[in-house]
Each structure stands twice: as C-alpha cells, then as structure tokens.
Amino acid sequence: MPEGPPKVLQVMMTERITDGTTVRNVSSLAYGKHPDFPTAGDDGRVTNATVGSTQKLRVIMDELLIGNYLEQISCRDGSYQSVPEGTTPDDVARCSVAQDVLAQTCLAAEHPVCLGPDGPIGVLDDNEDGAADDTRFIDGAVKLMCSPDGGGSINVPLNLDNTYWQPSGNQQVPATGGFAAVGPAIVIAPQNGLPTSSQCQIVFDPSVVDKDHIRPCASSDDGTYEEYLPRDCDPGNTDILVFGTEELRFAGSNPPDMAPNVALTSAGSSDFRILVQFNTAVEHAADLSVDVASFFTLLEGTTERTDLTAAVAANNFANVTITVPGGFTAGTDYSLTIEEGAADLFGVPLPASGVTTITWTTVP
C-alpha cells in the first residue's frame, strides 16, 4: 500500500482530435502518464473532450478508497442508503432476511443498514445471497465542475447508475479490458454530457478518503512516469485535474446538405420534418420544445419561413426535429442556417465559427 495520501495516477477520457483532414475520437490521458498507454504521442492533456452522452471519465487511483463514502446499497422500498464504516457482510446479511424476522435480526447487527423512521426497511436481496442486489454512486462524492468561456461554474449532473467505484486492479494492464480495466478507479458518467467550450475540473467531496481517512489528491505529473509516480501531493488538492471540452457543433441533418429532389412532405404526413443533429444535448423547454427563432433560420427561396416548430427527441436531446407545416414547395431551393443562438443543455452557445448553412432542392 503506498504511503502518504491517496493519489490520482491517471485520468482517461475520450477526446476529439484532428489529424490532417481526419477527425476522430480517441481515448486520451487528461492527466498522468503510463508506459503502456496505447495512443502514440499522447501528451497527457485533453483540450477537446467529447461532450456527448457516451463520454466517460476513468479516474485511476494508486490505492483503495473507502467504498462506503462512494456508493450506497439498494433497500426494499426503492431507496439507496449509505453503509456505515465498519459494517461487515454479516451485518448486511442480517438486514437481508425475510420480512417477518427482519426487525429482530437486523437490529441485532452491530451496524444495521437500510433503516427507516419506523425501523428496518430491509436490504433489497431478491436473489437471497445475503448481499444487496444493487449499488448506486453517492451524489456529490465526486464532482465535475465546469466553467464555460466567460461564464460561471457548472456542477455537471452525473448518471449515478452508470458512475461507479471499481476497487480492483493495479497499474498492470490486463489482457482482458486493456487500459479501460486498469484500477482501482472511479468511472464518471455525465447524465447528459458535458458543457461545451468549457474548462472542467474533477473535485472530490471531503468525505471521500482512504483507510487512514486522508483525502485524495493529484501531484504535478511533469517528467517521466517513473518520476511523477512517487511524487507527493496535498490532501484534497486536485487543481491539476483539469481538461477542456469541444465546442457545440452541427453534426448532421436530414435532408443532408446539397440534397436534390427532396420530397415535399414526410412519409405519412402533410408536413415535412427536418432532422438536425448536434454533438450533444441542446437547450429545450420542459415540453421538449426548442426556441426556433434562436436556433434556426429556414429560407424558402429568399423568403423566411416563420411558422416552424421544433423539439428535441425524448430519448436523445442532441436530435432536433423541425416541423414545416404543409411541407415544402415544389422545385424550390431551401437553406437552413444553424444560428449562434443555438445552445447546449447548459446554455453555452454555438460559437460564431460553428454557424452552418445547409441547402437542398425539392422535387419539381
């Protein structure tokens, strides 16, 4: 077990990079080094992290943290509760028994778990193995704090079901899983992606500690892997765990740009529905509607259509459907501009350089 405070060794995430004319998403180190990391030339910094809902961050530690302060267990009433430090598997098993003997057995445990105001609720244990069927990450145990260019700080919501603590592993890269299985690690999954055009930092709650109740930290990672690995850091200081995110951008459409002979209406409808895809979830109202005037300008020839409505897809906030009442006019040139008023889910706007116009022509 390493001496000193628990230390972050690497942070891995997906970055969008441009190599000549080729743009691709790659796994990159946002902090730290590793001799077996697969990306040649990785500089250990991320300035263009992908912002979509598939982004996950892997924060790799040099030692175990106390899992009680990272995850909660599932209880029978659908809630999740923290497990007191010092709780044993036998304590959990005592609170996993049948309902008719639960009160007597659970309260006899040294550290009873899943308690309510009226007594034991019981651990959710449908498979009757004496352990909780599910766990969930504790909200706020680890935070992603992001500051858009010229904006204030945003506490990015996490998907607590897909964010988790992996206590297994070491710095040896396993044959199965590769670097994505190196541990111990906290895997962080944003709920709806990351804010665009932002600088973000990984922050641990003061409750998160190792077995000696020392807070995690990150040292300077200058020099070689062998040089920074034993370097000490100040407990709780993660100022160096920062990364930048990509801009909001147009990612595709239907009709596509320069499409000829576009139908006048969508199949089975008297209207036409234009699909516009962004690289991340975009700003919308509670009813999923999008502010058309801020996001889009549609020209029919040289005349602007002002009767449009738009909404994000319920299962993908990065996809916007624009409804054109009555459809298009035959044999007409159309242009759709994605404007600077478009914004991501956090209110960060499309940069001027991202304004995009697509065109198409309808059938004669």
Q: Mean pLDDT across the stretch 268-288? A: 98
| Confidence class for position 149, pLDDT limits 50, 70, 90 | confident
Every domain of the chain with CATH number 2.60.40.1220 lies at 250-362
- Taking residue 216's Cβ as centre, other Cβ atoms within 10 Å add up to 26
Instruction: Give tens-digit pLDDT for 218-255.
Output: 999 998 888 988 899 999 999 999 999 999 999 999 99
Residues with Cβ within 8 Å of 129's Cβ and at least 6 positions away in sequence, in order, are none
CA-to-CA separations, 165 to 15, 55, 115, 187, 212, in angstroms, rounded: 22, 17, 24, 6, 18
Phi-psi region of 53 (alpha: psi -120 to 50; beta: other; left: phi over 0): alpha
What does the angle CA 243 – CA 66 – CA 87 come to, to the nearest 5 degrees? 150
Instruction: Give tens-digit pLDDT for 94-108.
Output: 999 999 999 999 998
Task: Give the three-state DSSP class for 295.
Answer: helix
Please list the residues that pair with 300 across neighbouring strands: 303, 334
At the second CATH level, the architecture of 250-362 is Sandwich (2.60)
66: Cα separation from own chain's centroid: 23
Q: What are phi and psi of 106, to 5 degrees?
A: -65, -45
Q: Mean pLDDT across the stretch 270-275? A: 98
| Confidence class for position 4, pLDDT limits 50, 70, 90 | confident
User: For the chain, what is the total number of helices (H) and then of strands (E)?
Assistant: 4, 23
Kindly state the tokens that stand for 107: 């309260």
Contact 264/362 with Cβ under 8 angstroms?
yes
DSSP sequence for 152-174: --EE--B-TTT-EEE----SSPP
Instruction: Give tens-digit pLDDT for 51-96.
Output: 999 999 999 999 999 999 999 999 999 999 999 999 999 999 999 9
Q: State the number of CA atoms in the 13 A half-sphere of 3 facing the CB.
A: 2
Rounded to whole angstroms, the Cα distance separating 275 from 251 reads: 11
The percent of residues above 90 in pLDDT, for the chain, comes to: 84
